[in-house]
Structure 1
Amino acid sequence: MGGHGVMANEESLDYSVHEAWNEATNVYLLVILVSFGLLMYARKNKRKIMRIFALPPTAGATAEPNFYDSLQKVRLRQQLEMYSLGRIFNITRKYDQQQQQQGHSESVQLSME
């Protein structure tokens, strides 16, 4: 009878392990399904979620300019100056060419007379 008692105890132990395994598996499956659902929701509503986690601009940040932003503004200003100087140079060169062509045409007319 002592041997039968040990056997009954092992069967109940096996059954409890089996039940625990089933419960854990169910929990894992539930976690996977919820994660998949959240992933699909996040893909569809990405902008809403990013708006939630975005930090609002602080009033102190505007008083102190960012070094990178100021560097970008300096570069932009330099590019605009170079572009405008290039345009001015092209305009003056065209004007000089026109003046030279007019000067040549006048001198040709004078020499022909």
Structure 2
Amino acid sequence: MAGSFGAMGDDDGSIDYTVHEAWNEATNVYLIVILVSVALFMYAKRNKRKIMRIFSVPPTEETSSEPNFYDTMSKIRLRQQLEMYSISRKYDYQQPQSQADSVQLSLE
């Protein structure tokens, strides 16, 4: 097992460069990530309005097309009341004001 792990355990004096190569690759990856992050930050700083337009809420005209729930319920209730009033007025006009429709109860 001599010489297979690390530079300090080598008997023949050769240096194992796998750790150094891995460190160099990792450093290169970190540098690329940092450069891409800086580039994205600069792009975001210059094009702030475009990015905010993408993530902003829809325009107010779309939100106004969808009514509030309570407004809708009150309008439905008002419409029902008007329909019932209309039906009762029609019924009043159709039926003469007589006592023929009244029910008489008698106790025995």
TM-score (norm 1): 0.44
Q: Which structure features the higher share of helix residues?
A: 1
Higher relative contact order (CA 8 A, sep 6+): 2
